[in-house]
Structure 1
Amino acid sequence: MNQDERAALYADLSRDLLAQKDEPLTLQRIVELAVQAVPGCDWAGVSLRGDRSVAEAAASTGPVVHQADRLQQELDEGPCHQSSLDNETYIISDTRSDRRWPRWSPRVAELGIRSVLSVQLLDSEDELLGALNLYASQVGAFSRNDLDEALVFAAHAGGAIGVSREVSGLREALRSRHLIGVAQGMLVQRYDLTVDQAFAVLARQSQESNTKLRDVAAHIVEGGRLMGHPEDLVPDGDVPLVSETG
């Protein structure tokens, strides 16, 4: 691949990744494109840092990858697990002889995986998101050039994940804002409150029940009423209320 072809590939790749509508779709497209972008790669997966593990299996190109990534999560060892911990790149030339991860390597060798390349995924602010895991059925499948290609690809992939999360966060914020607004409107109508008083009731309900404000609003919108007694939730008890049957 010459420089012009490589530039065109990554231009198309960036547009493709940024066109995905949410994080799961972005992750799935990343692993599919990784197989095309990195020579020697037969399968690809993404593991992300999460609450349960530093390497939670998030996307894969097939069941072999899913098993290999889940094993790293379950055993707390493996190259992509390590990449997600210390922000380093790891290559295994032959899983049958590598001794760095004595429980994981023999297990994936049984799956037919011989070579592994794990590179870190960073967002645009250099926050470590997880690792891109590249697998091959051949021994010594990944060269130095393949590593360089994987690092370039991972930079694009990490940026796409960051954008996807930002967009998802904005969408969730808009949904929450809309839900809270609907709940305020229902309280205004039912209890003859002002908009500010209705929000104060929501905030008090959230605080007293240790429940997120969005979830309090959802309960009102879906169930048509507050979780507790409105009189106990109105600040200072100075808000005019009508009865539930009024």
Structure 2
Amino acid sequence: MLFDDMEDDEADMMFDEADSSDFIDAPSGPADMPVPRATATLLGHADIEKQLLSMLGHGRFPHGLVFSGMEGIGKSVMAYRLARYLFSKDGKQDDTFSMFGDAPEPATSLYISPTDPVFARVASGGNADLLMIERPVDEKTGVMKSSVPVDEIRKIAPFMRKTSSAEDGWRIVIIDDADTMTRSSQNSLLKILEEPPEKSLLILIAHRAGALLPTIYSRCIHIPFMPLADDVIKNA
């Protein structure tokens, strides 16, 4: 039953708001503002970065993460920052010891230099081990749909079945606007979370945490992003 999808059109109708439109305007920003996957700098959230590094260091990293919080707070930037780290050689756990028998120094940051080839592949969308899921743009209207449809979520299962391009490497899926997934989309995702492949990670980026099914939360680690302090914003 792994990766099987369940049709649930009636549940979709009950789950979605009755007065919601099929499309909403695509968000726009300054032309020179880099997209999250090409952003190297993250403002604030050092505590979250420390938490993620701690989970990695203790060998208890989950297969699913939910990053929740207000829009534009850095959730997507953190997701790609984590993905780059895991893809890089620095992201792999180092079990070696120095010639004096000392344990290697633990990592203190998820930062990967923009000059690193891993950064370039993620920024260009050319990393074969990274799948990015988002609300699709309607070809006729040119605006983004109001939800992540089940057809997009169904791309995850065959992607996860593939062998990583790196030996013992990660396969990572980042779902943007995960809180807009339809009921069928969430049920389809739940089947993957129930039996995730080894070295796989799903990162759900949600602006409205309450829109996700409790059963999805129970299979993920929920990491809320708090608003940035005024001094952090002023010094940006």
- TM tier, smaller: under 0.3
Judging by fraction of residues, say which structure has more helix: 1
TM-score normalised to structure 2 length:
0.26
Larger Rg: 1
Query: So what's the TM-score if we normalise by structure 1?
Result: 0.25
